[in-house]
Structures are given as structure tokens and as C-alpha cells.
């Protein structure tokens, strides 16, 4: 059955009328199960676009019945056979090796990738970006961001500092060499503060192609680096084009799906800076990354998880189950594998929230697709959601609701009590004991906020078989009503009750508060 045939009246109208541009973006810290919806909407789309970020993202795609993790290629590529076009747009940063590995893997599975377009203006992640990312994290101590180590920050930093190397530069050996030489001079100065042995160890890493670019004295093998990247350019050449112009011309002519990466609260512009990624992963950022304008996108969908949240890496997370203990635990190398052994029998109703958080993480499979790290787990935070909804997608998709089945008490954070020293916020002063309903995303502020919760009874019924909103357990519907009354500026449109595409409920326009729209 086609996707639109399963939808309710209002959504079907949207999807079946004229050609449109749609964005699907996460409103939290990423990992909200976007892949399922990108995959579903890819059925509707003619063009699927990855707009920002790089191989720090990871999504699982089913290729010929086998699960594969992709980092760069839009998940719509498996629909390539139907003639859909997949674009990696100008706002993205590309580590050529990852992209070429993904293309090779797809081709070996009989997916030709002939409809893949790569922006000539996308920025190239160079080995020194990865090296600098990893060195600075290794030496950062308590200031660690917990990056994915994929060189994302240094690559975007070079671009903003006007040193960036674009994909098109890889097709022009003279230009490439001259930019590279200048950049390497600069990088050598930066590397002087590190020990050559520390550099060599990182350069020998698998992701840096086992030391191919290293001279094993703490410096680069420039010849090897230049040669390899020019070869990469040649391999990518058939896909490289001006995707900005292509997409601008297709608005109104084709159905375009803009696929978000990471999430609003990790946006360098709107997130919990500096504990963010280095791209603007808001809908505005997606538009810009694709070379489009905000008015081009008609119905931005924002994704949140059902009643819990996760965060990977360091940074404030007021509702985290187990608080600091959880942040510390999840930040340790190898914690993912360790907790699967140590906490195999953890209970989702354990009175110790640290353990309860682990149990929820295990049921929700909340381990990084890119790094395998355990995702810190906490309750749904409405002050952060209100912050996101001020400028972001307000057509809500709520995912993973089945994960909390069986949890006796579900807590929703509706506001914060500030507990720090006087905090000057522009022309306001926030004092100890003040209550705020919308988050200020400064980490100092968030680390000093105590969440105030409303507590609800959970449900025990298996909801994965339910396909109609009115058949959901009353307790679950009460929580949904509470949330959408609290946040006001958002409409609940779709609920996901399991990972499969059929485990989806389309919510009528007035259904949440009583009136059916059909």
C-alpha cells in the first residue's frame, strides 16, 4: 500500500497535492529515529537531500534484507532503483573515504548509485581535521565535548576561516596542491604543541587508513596525502555537480525531502553551545545547506522521542536519569559493551534512576550508530522543547513510544528551578529559586537547573499492534494531551509505536483533543 493511502485526510492532502519540499528534522539531541521516516517519506519524494554534517551521523538502512549503517549517503539511496535522486548538498562535510566505501558497498549489493549527486561546494574532511579533532579531545580534560572524532569541527572551522578545501578542488590538482600546502603549513604550527608519539598513534588509526598519511615522526607524508586525495577526486568526479542550482530549479517541480542530521539542540547556532556539533542542524540550516530559502519548505516535521530523550557526548542534560553518575559512566571508553554485561538484568522500574536509565537504554537500543557509545538517557524535557519550537518545525512526529511500555511512573519535566548564583541574561537577572518554563541553552545555566516534574501512570499494554490513535491506552493519551497543551505551538501528526514502517499511527488534526477530522 502506498504511504499516502494509510494517512488521514489532512496529511494525505499535503502529500498528494502539488510538488512540495519537506524537511524532517530532530528537535532534540539527535537519534530520535528519523531514519524510519526518511525512509517512509522517500517513497513519496523524487529527491532526497542530506544537507549538513558529515560522517558523525549514522543511520541504519536495510539493503537486500541486511542491516547496514550509513553515515553520508542519504538513506533514500536504496530507492535509487526507482529513479530517485539522492543529493549530498553544499552544507555537508565529506570524508571521501567514507563516501567511497558506502558507494562501493551499495554497488556490491547491486545498487548502482547512478542517481547520486554530490555538491561541488561541499567541504572535504582532510586527515589533519580528524587528527586535530582527536588530539584536542584527548587533551581537553573536563572541557571535552565528546565528539565523534570524525574531524567535523576542524573541517567547518577551516571553512569559516576561509581555508577550506571543497570537493571541486579535488578535481583541480594545481588548486588542490596549493591549498593543501598552505593548510599543512598552518597545521604544522598547530601540531607543535603535541608530542610526535601522540600524533603517530592517532595517524595509525583505521579511520586514518592505518598511517598512510603519516611520516611516523609526528608529521604528514605529503606526497601520499596529495596522491590519495586526487585519486578520491577522480572516483567521485561522475557524481559531482552544482547541487544548489539543481535543487533551486527543482523546487515546485519535484517532491524534495530534506533529511536532517544530528538535532536542533546540537545546532551550532541554537543548541547547547559549545556542547554541539559544528553545523546548523535546524530546519533553517538544512535549507541553507541545500542552497534553498526558508519559504521553499512547506511542512517541516520535527521529531521527538516518546517521553524520554537521549544525548551522546558531553554537555548539559537536566533530566538525565542518574544525573552526573550517568554522564560520567556514558563518557567512559567501552561503557557500551561493559554495561551490557554488568547490567544485563536491569529493570525499567528500578528505583535507582541510574539503573532505570540503563534499562530504558537497553530496550530502546540507545547506543551510537557511529561510535557505539551508550546514549545518556533522561525524561522528556519541555523547557528544551519549547526552546526548539520557537524557531523550528512544529509538525510533530513522536517516536519510540513502545520503549516505555511497562514503566509504572513516567515523569515529564515541565519547568526548571534555577539553583545557581545570580545569572545575568541580557537585561534580566535570574536568581536562585526562580522557575523557568523555557530553557536558556547556556550550559552554565542548564547545569544549575533542577527539573520540576509532573508524574503520570504508565501503561502495560503492548502498543505495537495499535494503528488508531483512539485505541491507544488512556494513560498514554493523557500524557500526550498534557504535553501538547503545555507546549502549545505544535501539532502531533504521527506516532511511531515500533521500528517497522507499519508500526505507525497517523493522528487526525483534532483527534488529540477529542474531535475527529474525518
Binding site for ligand IMP (CB under 6 A): 29-31, 56-57, 145-148, 150, 152-153, 262, 266, 277-278, 312-313
- E strands in 269-408: 299-305, 308-311, 376-379, 395-399
> Which of 93, 180 has the CB closer to ligand IMP?
93
> Which of 310, 415 has the CB closer to ligand IMP?
310
CB of 358 to ligand IMP, least distance (A): 18
As separate numbers, helices (DSSP H) first and strands (DSSP E) second, the chain gives 17, 21
CB of 336 to ligand IMP, least distance (A): 13
Helix axes 173-191, 222-236, angle to 10 degrees: 140
Torsion (CA) 381, 383, 385, 386 in degrees, nearest 10: 160
| Residue 414 host element (H or E) | strand 409-418
Active site residue 79: no
Whether 167 and 203 have beta carbons less than 8 Å apart is answered as no
Rounded CA-CA distance 398/504 in Å is: 10
Nearest partner of 458 among 468, 472, 448, judged by Cα: 472
Q: Which residue has the cell 577550506?
A: 164
Closest residue to ligand IMP, based on beta-carbon distance? 313
CB of 337 to ligand IMP, least distance (A): 18
> Which of 134, 493 has the CB closer to ligand IMP?
134
Output the CA angle 289-145-59, nearest 5 degrees: 50
> Which of 276, 466 has the CB closer to ligand IMP?
276
C-alpha distance from residue 295 to each of 20, 124, 288, 362 (Å) = 11, 29, 11, 40
CB of 63 to ligand IMP, least distance (A): 20
> Which of 152, 335 has the CB closer to ligand IMP?
152
Active site residue 59: yes
CB burial class (10 A; 0-12, 13-18, 19+) of residue 190?
Answer: middle
Rounded CA-CA distance 489/235 in Å is: 47
> Which of 75, 168 has the CB closer to ligand IMP?
75
> Which of 56, 255 has the CB closer to ligand IMP?
56
Whether 34 and 260 have beta carbons less than 8 Å apart is answered as yes
116: left (phi over 0), alpha (psi -120 to 50) or beta: beta
Nearest partner of 95 among 117, 128, 68, 137, judged by Cα: 128
CB of 306 to ligand IMP, least distance (A): 18
Annotated active-site residue in 39, 59, 80, 158: 59
Q: Beta-carbon neighbour count of residue 24 at 10 Å?
A: 24
CB of 154 to ligand IMP, least distance (A): 9
DSSP character at residue 216: S
> Which of 7, 49 has the CB closer to ligand IMP?
49
User: What distance lies between CA 486 and its chain's CA centroid?
Assistant: 25
Annotated active-site residue in 31, 80, 244, 381: 31
CB of 8 to ligand IMP, least distance (A): 31
> Which of 153, 458 has the CB closer to ligand IMP?
153
CB of 31 to ligand IMP, least distance (A): 5
Rounded CA-CA distance 12/15 in Å is: 5
Whether 247 and 291 have beta carbons less than 8 Å apart is answered as yes
CB of 138 to ligand IMP, least distance (A): 14
Long-range contacts of 31-34 (CB under 8 A, 24+ apart): 31/263, 31/310, 31/312, 31/366, 31/368, 31/369, 31/375, 32/263, 32/303, 32/304, 32/305, 32/399, 32/400, 33/303, 33/305, 33/399, 33/400, 33/496, 33/499, 34/59, 34/259, 34/260, 34/303
Residues annotated as part of the active site? 31, 59
Amino acid at each position: 500500500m502506498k504511504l499516502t493511502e494509510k494517512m488521514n485526510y489532512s496529511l494525505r492532502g499535503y502529500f498528494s497535492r502539488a510538488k512540495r519540499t519537506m524537511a524532517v528534522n530532530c528537535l532534540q539531541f539527535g537519534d530520535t529515529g528519523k531514519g524510519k521516516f526518511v525512509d517512509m517519506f522517500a517513497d513519496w519524494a523524487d529527491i532526497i537531500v542530506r544537507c549538513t554534517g558529515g560522517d558523525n551521523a549514522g543511520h541504519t538502512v536495510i539493503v537486500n534484507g541486511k542491516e547496514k549503517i550509513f553515515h553520508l549517503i542519504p538513506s533514500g539511496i536504496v530507492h535509487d532503483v526507482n529513479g530517485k535522486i539522492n543529493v549530498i548538498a553544499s552544507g555537508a562535510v565529506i570524508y571521501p573515504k567514507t563516501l567511497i566505501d558506502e558507494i562501493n558497498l551499495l554497488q556490491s549489493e547491486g545498487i548502482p548509485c547512478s542517481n547520486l549527486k554530490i555538491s561541488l561546494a561541499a567541504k572535504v574532511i582532510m586527515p589533519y581535521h580528524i587528527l586535530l579533532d582527536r588530539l584536542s579531545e584527548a587533551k581537553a580534560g573536563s572541557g571535552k565535548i565528546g565528539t565523534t572524532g570524525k574531524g567535523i569541527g576542524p573541517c567547518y572551522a577551516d571553512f569559516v576561516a576561509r581555508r577550506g578545501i571543497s570537493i571541486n578542488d579535488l578535481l583541480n590538482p594545481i588548486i588542490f596542491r596549493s591549498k593543501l600546502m598552505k593548510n599543512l603549513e598552518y597545521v604544522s604550527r598547530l601540531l607543535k604543541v603535541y608530542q610526535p608519539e601522540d600524533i603517530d598513534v592517532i595517524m595509525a588509526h583505521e579511520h586514518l587508513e592505518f598511517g598512510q598519511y603519516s611520516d611516523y615522526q609526528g608529521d604528514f607524508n605529503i606526497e601520499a596525502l596529495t596522491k590519495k586525495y586526487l585519486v578520491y577526486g577522480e572516483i567521485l568526479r561522475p557524481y559531482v555537480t552544482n547541487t544548489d542550482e539543481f535543487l533551486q530549479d527543482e523546487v515546485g517541480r519535484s517532491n524534495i525531502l530534506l533529511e536532517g542530521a544530528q538535532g536542533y539542540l546540537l545546532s551550532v547556532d541554537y543548541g547547547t553551545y559549545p556542547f554541539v556539533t559544528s553545523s546548523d542542524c535546524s530546519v533553517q540550516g538544512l535549507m541553507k545547506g541545500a542552497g534553498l530559502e526558508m519559504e521553499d519548505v512547506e511542512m517541516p516535521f520535527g521529531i521527538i522521542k516518546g517521553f524520554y530523550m537521549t544525548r551522546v557526548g558531553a554537555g548539559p542534560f537536566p533530566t538525565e536519569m542518574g544525573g552526573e553518575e550517568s554522564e560520567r559512566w556514558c563518557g567512559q571508553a567501552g561503557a557500551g559493551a561493559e554495561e551490557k554485561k554488568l547490567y544485563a538484568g536491569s529493570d525499567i522500574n528500578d528505583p535507582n534512576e541510574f539503573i532505570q536509565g540503563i534499562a530504558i537504554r537497553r530496550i530502546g537500543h540507545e547506543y551510537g550508530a557511529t561510535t557505539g557509545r551508550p546514549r545518556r538517557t533522561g525524561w522528556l524535557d519541555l523547557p528544551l522543547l519549547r526552546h526548539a519550537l520557537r524557531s523550528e518545525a512544529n509538525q510533530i512526529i513522536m517516536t519510540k513510544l513502545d520503549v516505555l511500555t511497562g514503566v509504572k511512573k513516567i515523569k515529564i519535566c515541565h519547568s526548571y528551578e534555577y539553583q545557581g548564583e545570580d545569572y545575568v541574561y541580557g537585561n534580566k537577572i535570574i536568581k536562585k529559586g526562580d522557575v523557568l518554563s523555557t530553557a536558556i541553552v547556556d550550559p552554565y545555566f542548564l547545569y544549575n537547573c533542577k527539573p520540576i516534574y509532573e508524574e503520570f501512570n504508565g501503561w502495560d499494554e503492548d502498543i505495537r499492534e495499535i494503528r488508531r490513535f483512539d485505541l491507544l491506552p488512556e494513560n498514554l493519551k493523557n500524557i500526550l494531551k498534557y504535553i501538547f497543551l503545555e507546549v502549545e505551538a505544535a501539532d502531533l501528526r504521527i506516532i511511531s509505536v515500533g521500528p517497522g514502517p507499519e508500526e505507525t499511527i497517523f493522528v487526525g488534526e483534532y483527534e488529540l483533543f477529542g474531535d475527529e477530522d474525518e
